[in-house]
């Protein structure tokens, strides 16, 4: 029986490691919430653009989805829901999208996304009823650690290959991640906890001095910001339920389960709290949020590894931060001016921040191995981790008719199936 009304009051704490059931004073909680919005923004904007979705809708629905997740998990699981990259390949295949601009067949994708969310919710109900033992047998720490690490490594090419078009911009990426690193190591207190936000601001100001001031690169254009309205209604889109598109997109639910499981395992390892007991609720929350997002024109959503990376760096795991982040994202979804502000952030600066965050994700996967004392002297563990990392990082792709499984998908299923095969000896 669900206990959605379970109390989630949080103890006030002013410093140190902040547990999920604790919180900082509200002003600091608010600032940290903004940092989590910024951490997820690059991917939550990039994913819909690659599929031809409206980024403003994606941000709005990520906020609504995070709020749904918070309510269904009783405020016990510190996670942000953002646009899932697992949908990109199947959405492009189902809609025939060739880009750029708005996807003319977005309705077909939305119907498939809703079907995926429904399948995901059903899996969550099963997990809530009978537990996660069957999932954990399929995905022990060596598997989940590899999957989490692969998520970060698979995304590495995005900032490195696609977010710097010349030597100057590559140097600006380097300046950005150095700024974040300096804040992380040589500052203390709240400034250190805001390492992503402070590093981004310092790097952006430096970029403006070098480009707008000294003319060394493409200057920041403020025209869009000046002309945009402060508030405006986004353009919602209705789903179209086509069986072929639904069958193509719905299996992504399996990838989301593995991804979410890995994320929650990472958070459990970082916090030292038994968050695994809320796994069923987390799956249900993510599934319902995906259905709601798809019904309004948004992308499928998932727990976000970028925000796990921020938690790993700041050691602040309070779920109150994600409640604030959800509200902020919802408000920003109705602001065309904010969208223009984000578009004005230099791409190389966003790339430099992404390098840091994606790297933190990969390290979070390794932390699962360390915390669970995975024995790599056992060949089955060594082989599973080795092959999984290369499949995901190299974006290994398999085709099943019209369905293409690439990168994270092949690494996820490959890790699960390979471990099951190799573990038969000790079964």
Distances in Å between the alpha carbon of 166 and those of 105, 134, 180? 34, 49, 22
136 within a domain of the structure (yes/no): yes
What's the rounded Cα separation, in Å, for the pair 259 and 412? 8
Per DSSP, the residues of 216-275 read SSPPPP-HHHHHS-S------------HHHHHHHTTHHHHHHHHHHHHHHHHHHHH-S-G
Three-state secondary-structure class, residue 421: helix
373 within a domain of the structure (yes/no): yes
Q: The pTM is what?
A: 0.70
The total number of structural domains in the chain stands at 1
Please report which confidence band the pLDDT of residue 205 belongs to, taking 50, 70 and 90 as the band edges.
Answer: very high
Beta strands in 259-359 (DSSP E): 301-303
392 within a domain of the structure (yes/no): yes
336-359 residue pLDDT tens: 887 677 778 888 888 888 788 778
Structure tokens at 279: 């796994």
177 within a domain of the structure (yes/no): no
Please report which confidence band the pLDDT of residue 9 belongs to, taking 50, 70 and 90 as the band edges.
Answer: low
Who has greater pLDDT, 116 or 392? 116
Look at residue 159 and tell me whether its pLDDT is greater than 70: yes
Residue 241 pLDDT: 94
Residue 5 pLDDT: 41
Look at residue 427 and tell me whether its pLDDT is greater than 60: no
Q: Residue 253: name the closest of 294, 218, 224 by CA.
A: 294
What's the rounded Cα separation, in Å, for the pair 43 and 360? 15
Summary mean pLDDT of the chain:
83
318 within a domain of the structure (yes/no): yes
Q: What is the mean pLDDT of residues 193-198?
A: 74
Q: Of the ranges 136-140, 221-225, 272-276, 323-327, which is most confident?
A: 323-327
Q: Residue 93: name the closest of 207, 247, 203, 213 by CA.
A: 247
Whether 411 and 392 have beta carbons less than 8 Å apart is answered as: yes
Please report which confidence band the pLDDT of residue 173 belongs to, taking 50, 70 and 90 as the band edges.
Answer: very high
Q: What is the mean pLDDT of residues 411-423?
A: 88
355-375 residue pLDDT tens: 887 788 788 788 889 888 899
Look at residue 99 and tell me whether its pLDDT is greater than 70: no
Three-state secondary-structure class, residue 403: strand
Q: What is the mean pLDDT of residues 260-271?
A: 80
Distances in Å between the alpha carbon of 101 and those of 49, 98, 104, 152, 268? 8, 9, 9, 27, 40
Structure tokens at 23: 């919180």
Residue 376 pLDDT: 92
Residue 34 pLDDT: 84
196 within a domain of the structure (yes/no): no
Q: Which domain holds residue 223?
A: 18-166+219-422
Look at residue 15 and tell me whether its pLDDT is greater than 70: no
194 within a domain of the structure (yes/no): no
39-65 residue pLDDT tens: 776 667 767 877 888 888 989 999 999
Look at residue 316 and tell me whether its pLDDT is greater than 90: no
3 within a domain of the structure (yes/no): no
């Amino acid at each position: 029986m669900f206990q959605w009304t379970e109390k989630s009051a949080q103890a006030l704490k002013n410093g140190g490691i902040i547990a999920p059931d604790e919180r900082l004073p509200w002003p600091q909680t608010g600032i940290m919430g903004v940092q989590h919005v910024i951490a997820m923004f690059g991917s939550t904007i990039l994913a819909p653009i690659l599929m031809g979705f409206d980024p403003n809708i994606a941000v709005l629905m990520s906020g609504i989805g995070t709020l749904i997740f918070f309510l269904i998990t009783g405020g016990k699981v510190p996670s942000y829901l953002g646009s899932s990259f697992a949908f990109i390949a199947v959405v492009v295949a189902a809609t025939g999208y060739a880009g750029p601009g708005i996807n003319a067949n977005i309705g077909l994708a939305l119907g498939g996304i809703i079907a995926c969310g429904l399948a995901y919710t059903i899996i969550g109900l099963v997990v809530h009823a009978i537990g996660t033992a069957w999932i954990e047998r399929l995905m022990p720490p060596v598997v989940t650690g590899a999957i989490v690490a692969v998520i970060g490594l698979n995304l590495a090419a995005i900032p490195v290959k696609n977010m710097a078009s010349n030597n100057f911009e590559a140097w600006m990426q380097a300046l950005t991640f150095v700024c974040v690193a300096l804040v992380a190591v040589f500052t203390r207190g709240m400034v250190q906890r805001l390492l992503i936000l402070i590093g981004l601001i310092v790097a952006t100001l430096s970029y403006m001095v070098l480009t707008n001031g000294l003319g060394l690169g493409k200057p920041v254009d403020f025209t869009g910001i000046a002309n945009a309205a402060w508030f405006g209604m986004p353009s919602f889109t209705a789903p179209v339920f086509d069986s072929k598109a639904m069958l193509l997109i719905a299996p992504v639910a399996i990838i989301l389960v593995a991804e979410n499981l890995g994320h929650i395992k990472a958070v459990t390892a970082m916090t030292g709290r038994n968050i695994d007991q809320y796994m069923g609720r987390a799956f249900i929350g993510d599934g319902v949020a995906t259905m709601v997002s798809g019904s309004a024109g948004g992308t499928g959503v998932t727990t976000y590894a970028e925000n796990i990376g921020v938690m790993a760096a700041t050691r602040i795991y309070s779920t109150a931060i994600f409640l604030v982040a959800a509200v902020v994202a919802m408000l920003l979804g109705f602001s065309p001016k904010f969208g223009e502000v984000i578009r004005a952030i230099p791409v190389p600066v966003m790339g430099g921040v992404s390098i840091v965050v994606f790297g933190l994700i990969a390290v979070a996967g390794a932390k699962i191995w360390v915390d669970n004392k995975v024995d790599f002297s056992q060949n089955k563990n060594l082989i599973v981790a080795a092959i999984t990392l290369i499949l995901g990082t190299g974006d290994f792709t398999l085709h099943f008719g019209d369905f293409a499984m690439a990168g994270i998908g092949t690494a996820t299923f490959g890790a699960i199936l390979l471990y099951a095969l190799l573990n038969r000896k000790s079964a």
